Amino acid sequence: MIAIACKGPVHWTVYVPVTVESRISVLVLKHPVPRDAHLTIEDLNVETRKVTGLATAFLTSPGDLQGRVVRQPLPIGTTLTIDMFNPDLVIHHDQDVTLVATGTGIEVRAAGRALSDAPGGARLKVVNLSSMKVVEGVVEGPGLVRVMQ
């Protein structure tokens, strides 16, 4: 709703319902895809669509798909939005990983085992295989966890 008002000698206000629409380029599926699929440009069409509301959730570039997997099966013709994807897991439960801790002028590495699945940038608990203590760090990449001090 928007308000239209007159502040003249006779004050009045009228509330008018409005719909915000935009035409944007969006990514649309060429074919159905299963859960956990990694999409590529071959899976997509770029189409101009009229959308209502704010268009911030729509994926508009194939680069938006990097590091993401499909959350649930999607049918042909689906206009892709960010909530249809999960971050791609780079570490899996019970995977052997390298723990890295750094200090002033020193870096220490140790073998560890992941206690859960995790995408890049996520916090993860890991068992240090030397001390058998559970430590927490941030996933920096496949098989690499940086321990905070």
Whether the Cβ atoms of residue 29 and residue 80 lie closer than 8 Å to each other: yes
pLDDT of residue 1: 86
Reported as a pLDDT band with limits 50, 70 and 90, residue 20 is confident
Give per-residue pLDDT as tens, 79-114: 999 999 998 889 999 999 999 998 888 999 999 999
Q: What is the pTM of this model?
A: 0.62
Question: Which residue intervals of the chain bear CATH 2.30.30.760?
Answer: 89-147
Q: Which CATH architecture has domain 20-87?
A: Alpha-Beta Complex (3.90)
Give per-residue pLDDT as tens, 132-147: 999 999 999 899 999 9
Counts of helices then strands in the chain (DSSP H, E): 0, 13
CA distance 141 to 46: 30
* 27 pLDDT higher than 80: yes
Class of domain 89-147: mainly beta
